[in-house]
Amino acid sequence: MRLKPVVFSVFLLLSIYFLGIGVLSYGERFTFAGYIVVALMHLAVGVGILRNSNALRQLGSYFLLLDFLFGLLWTLIGERTALVIMFVSALALVLVTSDELRKEMY
């Protein structure tokens, strides 16, 4: 099974997740803009992985680590819906840092 489409779909889902949170917070101007920027950054990393950009793959691992840590923080303060983002980002972090994806991109 090829890993690039799987990793792209994870970044696409994370982008849709943050875009949805941004749409839900439409009334607050800066929160809305922040979530839209985060969603676009995730989408750009996903497209970069599809186009074999090693720099964006490395940047994506940092994004996934931040997603995992913020998901963990949100879970600790009682936001149960953050469990999904925490587990998805943890699994995707393993895929992004794997040698198989690195070999597939070259």
Q: What is the pLDDT of residue 9?
A: 94
* Segment-wise mean pLDDT, segments of 10 residues, the chain, 106 residues: 89 94 92 95 94 92 94 89 90 92 84
Q: What is the pLDDT of residue 104?
A: 86
What is the spatial distance between Cα 93 and Cα 28, in angstroms, rounded to a whole number? 31
What is the spatial distance between Cα 27 and Cα 48, in angstroms, rounded to a whole number? 32
Q: Contact, 54 vs 26, CB < 8 A?
A: no
What's the whole-model pTM score?
Answer: 0.90
Question: Percent of the chain having pLDDT more than 70?
Answer: 99
Q: Contact, 2 vs 96, CB < 8 A?
A: no
